[in-house]
Amino acid sequence: MSIDSPIHVTLEQEGDYAFRIVFDDTALAPLLTDEPSPLGHDRGPNPSRMLLAAVANCMAASLLFSLRKYGNTPGALKARISATPQRDAGGRWRIPTARVELQLADAAADYQQLPRILEQFENFCVVTQSVRAGIEVQVTVTDGNGVVVHDASGGPRP
């Protein structure tokens, strides 16, 4: 699969707020997500943790790509991300800010072109840049008979 191929992921509810995630068109093992109690049963990471993991993973991979692009052979990178959910003006939980900390394995002086790398590596991160720009999410809801009851514009259908 190339980077410009469509990405398909399927989720099926397994109980309460637990969903089995299948990464379509891959050999990857399914992943179970769940909400923390009292809603769920903590059987897997919740969507907020998955979002943060995706951002941190993409940032670390982008830094690694950039380091290697300039002839470096870096040791193992470490990434840590933290965020504090907050209620928005409507009282709904949101993640307004996330802080990513990336740690290189070696001293800065051991890397070639590090200032240049640090200026540009974030631009290679598909996930972080998509989140920063705000991803348009189009939603369609169908009933058990396949009838569309909610369309991408957010309004109910007759």
Cis? peptide before 38, omega within 30° of 0: yes
Per residue of the chain (158 residues), give pLDDT as tens.
577 889 999 999 999 999 999 999 999 999 999 999 999 999 999 999 999 999 999 999 999 999 999 999 999 999 999 999 999 999 999 999 999 999 999 999 999 999 999 999 999 999 999 999 998 888 888 989 999 988 876 455 45
Cα distance between the two ends of the chain: 39
Q: Per the domain annotation, does 93 fall within a domain?
A: yes
What is residue 39's predicted lDDT score, i.e. its pLDDT?
94
Domain total of the chain: 2
Q: Per the domain annotation, does 17 fall within a domain?
A: yes
What is residue 156's predicted lDDT score, i.e. its pLDDT?
52
The count of other CB atoms within 10 Å of the CB of residue 81 is 19
Range(s) of the domain holding residue 84: 46-130
- 118 plus 86 within the same structural domain: yes
Q: Read off the tokens for 132.
A: 């920063």
Q: pTM to 2 decimals? A: 0.88
What is residue 2's predicted lDDT score, i.e. its pLDDT?
72
Q: CA 57, CA 33: separation in Å to the nearest integer?
A: 18
Picking from 55, 96, 97, 46, the residue whose alpha carbon sits closest to that of residue 79 is 55
- 65 plus 126 within the same structural domain: yes
Helix (H) or strand (E) holding 134: none
What is residue 106's predicted lDDT score, i.e. its pLDDT?
95
Q: What is the DSSP string of 73-114?
A: -----EEEEEE--EE-TTS-EE---EEEEEE-SS-GGGSTTH
